[in-house]
Amino acid sequence: MMKRIIGFIFMLSALFSLNANAQCKLNNTYFQAGEDLSYDLYFKYGIIYTKAGTSSLRTVSEKYNGTDAYKMTLLAQSSGTVRKLFSLNDTLSCYTTKDLVPLAYIKDAFEGKDYTQEEVRYTYTGSGVSINAKRHKNGTFRFNETITSNSCIYDMMSVVFYARTLNYASMKKGDTSKVNFISGKKKVSMVIEYEGIEAVEANDNKKYNCIKLVLSIMDDAFSDKKEAMKVYITNDNNRMPVRLDSKLNIGSTRAILKSYKGNKHPVSAVK
């Protein structure tokens, strides 16, 4: 009798854990392992963007703790004259399940004189998700915090891929979608605002009709909104990022598509 009770409790626990994980699952029809995007990187200090280096965004299949997963990696590196003024060498990676449930986020970033190492690990339980966030900056320990949530929560990398799956056909300009977001050691809200369709010229001598998105972080009281990123994704079956504008502690960066391969669908260009 006792064995049956223990077995029943174990089954319930597994079921609740599955449900907590399942609520974050997405139907991804837009990208696949092997997608490899290359960008020219620009740096803005003041009002002018200057050619600054290169960037890439790659998706591959890997195992994460024995689970079939995607690994998405964003590389950004400054070069030339700009590198002498502001050194940038960032590697941002995230792991998700094949249905885009976040598993981990890792940041290794040299920006100017600062070196930041950040690590976020997700553990799904019957009551939701537990997130361990760690940071070291310039060799000094900053924090090691555990955050819990009863709903899905995203990081700076996984939220971009999440945004590629939303149904924009049913949206009008100014419509928003809100998600929970991990910012440092805090859970905040991120608002993804749909800003309509805009033709964007890439560095492959083509223009693409793009869905324009503004990603902003909100404080707990929703009284303060801080723009984190602008993302322009193709208005086709790939939702491929053509341009990404990101904020830095000093200035900002702009990555403009230069080449692509490994797309799941044919890419639609204006010309």
The secondary structure of 210-266 as a DSSP string is EEEEEEEEE-TTS--EEEEEEEEEESSSS--EEEEEEE-SSSEEEEEEEEEE--SSP
pLDDT band at 84 (very low <50, low <70, confident <90, very high): confident
Q: Encoding tokens for residue 228?
A: 């984190």
Range of the domain at 45: 2-261
Q: What pLDDT, on a 0 to 100 scale, did the predictor assign at position 239?
A: 97
Looking at the domain assignment, is residue 18 inside a domain? yes
Count the domains in the chain. 1
Residue with tokens 């049913």: 170
What tens digit of pLDDT does each residue of 187-198 get? 999 999 999 999
| 69 domain-assigned | yes
- Would residue 138 count as lying in a domain? yes
Is 269 among the domain residues? no
Mean local confidence (pLDDT), 129-158: 96
The region that residue 174 occupies, defined by phi over 0 for left and psi between -120 and 50 for alpha, beta otherwise, is: left
CA atoms of 76 and 60, how far apart (whole Å) = 18
Lowest mean pLDDT among 97-106, 107-116, 202-211: 107-116
Residue 8 in any domain: the answer is: yes
- pLDDT at position 47: 76
Q: Is residue 266 part of a domain?
A: no
Residues in the chain: 271
| Domain presence at residue 13 | yes
pLDDT at 211: 98
Its pTM surpasses 0.95: no
Q: What is the pLDDT of residue 8?
A: 43
Is residue 159 assigned to a domain?
yes
Residue 169 in this model has a pLDDT that exceeds 80: yes
Could you tell me the sign of the dihedral formed by the alpha carbons of 191, 216, 175, 203, in that order? negative
Is 90 exceeded by the pLDDT of residue 219? no
